């Protein structure tokens, strides 16, 4: 049993055996993106011309177009990498030269960044073909993709339901087999949560592992570019390509990047997985609890030792996250003033009115709510009561993880409290929407890595995911554990909406 669809490994083996060409791979992915977009709305821009051109170039370099005399050697050995000709989708808050970067917002409509994000530069150097920019919640604020100014993304398993957010378009594109991997971003769970809701793998690296240069800032102390994969291996290969120190982002650490993919097969017997039982009680959907209990059992059978751990401050993580993330957002979003980027209001009477009207017309309701909340918690009378206190509790949450990792190698929880909810179900109740991040945002606050892995379906046929969180810089360990589970229990069911094979 394997996961259905074309993984990176399958694409690259078909290429090297001459069964297909880079052009054919790109054409298939582009056609799927275009054909499914009416149904899913996963892409905000599909780069047919750019992707085809790049694929043809790769074919020429490899001599697979038959024109062997025109072989051009790539500038580096990376063209031989595992990502050669692999189609990849990129969330619309990550800069790709020549393509738009709207961040799902009207205020950035028409903005075309003149440069590639470091992660995109590294993907390209490794031979990847960028097929397009994916839909997302406005400025990555949301858990359902319903906050996009360009309409919601729909879940390929059930188009009446949300794909999760904020990286919903990337999650749906991978789930529908348009691409084997996609980039998203995480501030509080925006890759792991949609990965769980769409039945794919999502990895958030350690804070500082991946460059944020070219990622539009939301909460700078929390943001990390993160990866979706059809399988753990797909995600691992992409992560090792984009990870590592970048001179252009001073928060990237000079920590060596392991060959994650090569280490996936290492033995997991004897590893210790910690389960914070208090997080599996109230508020968790019965199907989610059942699937996660089965995953815990599966680990026991794989020779993993299951231990009890406590994360006593985890219950404050939503409150802390929505103070720190909004505070940082209120300051980061001050730059959208109608002068430097994208949208500007028409015929303002003076400069003040231009700023005001541009921001009023350009931002959506949730973004405005966050800017106001963030400005409030930073204001002089409330700074100590909210922002400062939240920072202190953030340290306690991080300490909980350090204590847990004294007795285990990874902490396992559900990724989300429920499977995918219906479109419109939570839009009038921000608090209930925020609670979708209850298991994910603690890893962002602590800076630790996390991976969401599909673990079967609910009784209604919707995917469920569990999450493993690891030590700082310990991506290898959680990816290996995730891979071992996936090998034993691959999600072999297919979403209703899926590209033809
Ligand atoms: N859903 C969370 C929020 O709305 C997390 C978003 C994210 O990780 N970008 O802030």
Evaluate whether residue 457 is within a structural domain: no
Indicate which atom in ligand 1 lies nearest the CA of residue 222: 8
Query: Is 331 assigned a catalytic role?
Result: no
Q: Whose CA is nearest to atom 10 of ligand 1?
A: 141
Q: Is the pLDDT of residue 73 over 80?
A: no
Q: Please tell me the predicted confidence (pLDDT) of residue 489.
A: 98
Q: Which residue has the tokens 């350090």?
A: 402
Indicate which atom in ligand 1 lies nearest the CA of residue 322: 10
Q: Please tell me the predicted confidence (pLDDT) of residue 501.
A: 75
Indicate which atom in ligand 1 lies nearest the CA of residue 190: 8
Which of 23, 25, 26 has its CA nearest to residue 61?
A: 23
Ligand 1 centroid, distance to 430 Cα (angstroms): 12
Task: Report pLDDT digits (tens) over 359-417.
Answer: 999 999 999 999 999 999 999 999 999 999 999 999 999 999 999 999 999 999 999 99
Q: Is the pLDDT of residue 125 over 60?
A: yes
Ligand 1 centroid, distance to 67 Cα (angstroms): 48
What angle do helix axes 365-378 and 317-332 make, rounded to 10 degrees? 100
Query: Is 166 assigned a catalytic role?
Result: yes
Grouping H, G, I as helix, E, B as strand and the rest as coil, residue 455 is strand
Evaluate whether residue 15 is within a structural domain: yes
Task: Report pLDDT digits (tens) over 93-119.
Answer: 999 999 999 999 999 988 999 999 999
Q: Is the pLDDT of residue 242 over 70?
A: yes
Please provide the DSSP assignment of 141-183 as one string: --SSSTT-TT----BTTBTTB---SSSHHHHHHHHTTS-SEEE
Contacts of 441 (CB under 8 A, 6+ apart): 188, 189, 317, 318, 321
Q: Please tell me the predicted confidence (pLDDT) of residue 65.
A: 63
Evaluate whether residue 104 is within a structural domain: yes
Ligand 1 centroid, distance to 335 Cα (angstroms): 20
Q: Please tell me the predicted confidence (pLDDT) of residue 72.
A: 37
Helix (H) or strand (E) holding 454: strand 450-457
Evaluate whether residue 450 is within a structural domain: no
Evaluate whether residue 136 is within a structural domain: yes
Question: Where in the sequence is the domain holding 252, given as residue range(s)?
Answer: 8-266+470-488
Q: Whose CA is nearest to atom 5 of ligand 1?
A: 188
Contact 444, 187 (CB under 8 A): yes
Q: Among the options 6, 91, 133, 233, which is catalytic? A: 91
Q: Please tell me the predicted confidence (pLDDT) of residue 422.
A: 97
Which class for 290: exposed (0-12), middle (13-18), buried (19 or more C-beta within 10 A)?
A: middle
Task: Report pLDDT digits (tens) over 262-295.
Answer: 999 999 999 999 999 999 988 899 999 999 999 9
Helix (H) or strand (E) holding 184: strand 181-186
Ligand 1 centroid, distance to 337 Cα (angstroms): 23
Question: Could you tell me the CATH number of the domain that includes residue 255?
Answer: 3.90.1300.10
Q: Is the pLDDT of residue 79 over 80?
A: no
Indicate which atom in ligand 1 lies nearest the CA of residue 167: 9
Evaluate whether residue 20 is within a structural domain: yes
Q: Please tell me the predicted confidence (pLDDT) of residue 282.
A: 82
What are the tokens at 191?
């890759």
Q: Is the pLDDT of residue 66 over 80?
A: no
Q: Please tell me the predicted confidence (pLDDT) of residue 82.
A: 80
Q: Please tell me the predicted confidence (pLDDT) of residue 81.
A: 74
For the chain, the average pLDDT equals 95
Q: Distance (Å, rounded) from C-alpha 233 to C-alpha 212?
A: 23
Evaluate whether residue 353 is within a structural domain: no
Query: Is 91 assigned a catalytic role?
Result: yes
Q: Where are the alpha helices (DSSP H) in 158-258?
A: 168-175, 192-198, 232-242
Residues in the ligand 1 pocket, defined by CB under 6 Å: 140-143, 166, 186-190, 218, 325, 437
Q: Whose CA is nearest to atom 4 of ligand 1?
A: 142
How much is the pTM? Answer: 0.96
| Choice from 188, 217, 219, 322 to test ligand 1 binding pocket (greatest atom count within 8 A of CB) | 188
Ligand 1 centroid, distance to 243 Cα (angstroms): 22
Q: Lowest-confidence range among 301-305, 333-337, 428-432, 488-492?
A: 428-432
Ligand 1 centroid, distance to 340 Cα (angstroms): 25
Which of 131, 135, 185, 180 has its CA nearest to residue 162?
A: 135
Indicate which atom in ligand 1 lies nearest the CA of residue 188: 8
Q: Is the pLDDT of residue 71 over 70?
A: no
Evaluate whether residue 1 is within a structural domain: no
How many domains does the chain contain in total?
1
What are the tokens at 375?
């400005």
Number of CB atoms found within 10 A of residue 334's CB: 11
């Amino acid at each position: 049993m394997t996961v259905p669809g074309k993984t990176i490994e399958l694409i690259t083996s078909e290429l090297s055996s001459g069964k297909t060409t880079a052009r054919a791979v790109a054409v298939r992915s582009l056609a799927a993106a275009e054909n499914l977009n009416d149904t899913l709305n996963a892409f905000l821009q599909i780069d047919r011309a750019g992707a085809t051109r790049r694929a043809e170039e790769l074919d020429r370099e490899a001599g697979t177009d038959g024109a062997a005399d025109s072989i051009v050697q790539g500038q580096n050995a990376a063209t031989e990498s595992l990502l050669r000709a692999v189609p990849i989708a990129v969330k619309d808050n990550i800069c790709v030269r020549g393509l738009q970067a709207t961040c799902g917002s009207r205020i950035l409509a028409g903005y075309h960044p003149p440069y590639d994000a470091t992660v995109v530069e590294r993907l390209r150097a490794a031979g990847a073909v960028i097929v397009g920019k994916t839909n997302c919640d406005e400025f990555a604020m949301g858990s359902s993709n319903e906050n996009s100014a360009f309409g919601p993304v729909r879940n390929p398993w059930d188009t009446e339901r949300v794909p999760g957010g904020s990286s919903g378009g990337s999650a749906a594109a991978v789930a529908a087999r348009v691409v084997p991997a996609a980039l998203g971003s995480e501030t509080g769970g925006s890759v792991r949560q949609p990965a769980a809701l769409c039945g794919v793998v999502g990895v958030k690296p350690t804070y500082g592992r991946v460059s944020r240069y070219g990622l539009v800032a939301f909460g700078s102390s929390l943001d990390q570019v993160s990866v979706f994969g059809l399988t753990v291996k797909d995600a691992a290969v992409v992560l090792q390509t984009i990870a590592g120190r970048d001179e252009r982002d001073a928060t990237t650490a000079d920590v060596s990047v392991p060959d994650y993919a090569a280490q996936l097969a290492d033995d997991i017997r004897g590893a210790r997985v910690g389960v914070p039982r208090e997080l599996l009680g109230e508020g968790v959907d019965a199907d989610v609890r059942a699937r996660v209990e089965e995953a815990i059992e599966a680990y026991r059978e794989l020779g993993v030792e299951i231990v009890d751990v406590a994360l006593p401050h985890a219950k404050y993580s939503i409150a802390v996250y929505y103070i720190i993330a909004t505070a940082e957002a209120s300051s980061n979003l001050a730059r959208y003033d109608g002068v430097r980027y994208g949208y500007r209001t028409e015929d303002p009477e003076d400069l003040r009115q231009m700023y005001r009207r541009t921001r009023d017309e350009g931002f959506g309701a949730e973004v405005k709510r966050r800017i106001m909340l963030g400005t409030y918690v930073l204001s002089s009378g409330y700074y100590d009561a909210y922002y400062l206190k939240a920072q202190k509790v953030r340290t306690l949450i991080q300490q909980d993880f350090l204590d847990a990792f004294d007795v285990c190698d990874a902490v396992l929880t559900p990724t989300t409290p429920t499977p995918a909810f219906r479109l419109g179900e939570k839009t009038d109740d921000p608090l209930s929407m925020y609670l979708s991040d209850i298991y994910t945002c603690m890893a962002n606050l602590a800076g630790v890595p996390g991976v969401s892995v599909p673990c079967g379906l609910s009784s209604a046929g919707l995917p469920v995911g569990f999450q493993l969180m690891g030590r700082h810089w310990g991506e290898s360990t959680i990816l290996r554990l995730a891979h071992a589970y996936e090998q034993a229990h691959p999600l072999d069911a297919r979403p209703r909406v899926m590209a033809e094979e």
